[in-house]
Amino acid sequence: MPATVHNDTLIYKGSNFFRQRLLLSTLSGRSVRIEEIRSSHDDPGLREYEVSLIRLLDKVTNGTRVELSETGTSVFYQPGILIGGQVTHNCSTQRGIGYYLEVLLALGPFCKEPLNVVLQGVTHHDLDVSVDKVKAAALPILLKFILVDDGLELKVVRRGAPPLGGGEVVFRCPVRRGVRPLQWTSWGLVKRIRGVVYALRVSPTMANRVVEAAKGVMLKFLPDVYINTDQCRGPNAGKSPGFGISLVAETNEKTFYCAEAKSLVAGSGETTLPEDLGRECAQKLLDEIYRGGCVDSSLQWLVALWMALGQKDVSVCVVGPLSDYTITFLQHLKEFFGVMFKLEVLRAGDDDEDSGDEMSTAQRVKMTCVGIGYVNISKRTL
């Protein structure tokens, strides 16, 4: 639902895209009021993971003001100044660490001090990207905008499966005065497949069975396939049993496609066969490769954000079919920053010559915008 504006405060209704709105509010400095949050539900108001997100944003900012209604169905958020620095946050186990990590990745370059964040909780969750995916596919995208890694790091200290979690990651991100414009229209050919299979509080043979099943599919596509196993033990295995797989396809143009699959939550009454899991993940990766584009479909919105915040120059990126999440994010970018994207659907034959995808029929979208020249004001004083 589009925003209404009152005294320069953007007003939204409903709980959808809560994270998008708080993130863009923090970056733009514009206040938001979100009303009627699950007001028609039996259990109305904010969920635990949403309150946890507000707390995390409060830790990385200075001067943020939050007002909650008694029922929790309305929240007013007035962002403070991004300061970053050293933060430890215990994430809600209702969502994965990736839910919070993506927000920090978007905010990190614009903080006053380099981020050094310890996040604790569920490292692999059905609703969110895993920490492996952020590390393999999202960090390389940020590098294209800031050029020098200069301490950009994501370290998985412990893994944690739902429902109890117990995982821990350390995320470090350097600060920048601004991000550069990007012209990214070629994604190349897949040259290798890499992956990791983790087994937490289950038999180590589970991981080996997942590896064999996944390789059985991928080797029909490409000979260069290597899948590592992470046999976690003791405290490093988290608090709940589970196993899963993350696969990454890398192209010769440094594009990374990622797919994931994990076992069902312990105690749900159903069992997951390792062979089914391996094949499921391999098929998901092939589908992601078929979609094409220069970025993984789940990370399109991050690219759009950094394109919009870039220097006052034209940025171009060709992506696969736009996800619903990305479409809404583009609408929010217009409301918070006034940035509009030109979207062109590329027909067969319009793809870049180097894409290596002449036989594919998946729809490609060329995203073009002029950056607003967003400047990290705090960076000047360092």
CATH architecture of 83-176: Alpha-beta prism (3.65)
Domain ranges of the chain: 1-80, 83-176, 190-291, 294-382
The string of pLDDT tens digits covering residues 60-98 is: 999 999 999 888 899 999 999 999 999 999 999 999 999
Domain 83-176 and domain 190-291, same fold? Reply is: no
> Which CATH entry fits the domain spanning 190-291: 3.40.50.150, 3.30.450.40, 3.40.50.1100, 3.30.360.20?
3.30.360.20
Candidates 144, 141, 148; CA nearest to 181 is 144
The string of pLDDT tens digits covering residues 147-174 is: 777 889 999 999 999 999 999 999 999 9
Per DSSP, what are the bridge partners of residue 244? 198, 262
In this prediction, residue 377 has a pLDDT band, given cuts at 50, 70 and 90, of: confident
Please give the pLDDT value at position 354: 45
The CA angle 372-378-381, to the nearest 5 degrees, is 130
In this prediction, residue 348 has a pLDDT band, given cuts at 50, 70 and 90, of: low
Please give the pLDDT value at position 359: 45
Calculate the average pLDDT of the chain: 91
Please give the pLDDT value at position 262: 94
**pLDDT mean over 3-25:** 90
Please give the pLDDT value at position 231: 87
Please give the pLDDT value at position 8: 83
Alpha-carbon gap, residue 256 to 135, rounded angstroms: 11
If phi > 0 it is left, if psi is from -120 to 50 it is alpha, else beta; for residue 166 that is left
Query: From edge to edge, which strands make up the β-sheet containing 225-232?
Result: 225-232, 190-200, 242-251, 256-262
To which residue do tokens 């943020």 refer? 64
Q: Is the pLDDT of residue 211 over 90?
A: yes
The string of pLDDT tens digits covering residues 271-327 is: 889 999 999 999 999 999 999 999 999 999 999 999 999 999 999 999 999 999 999
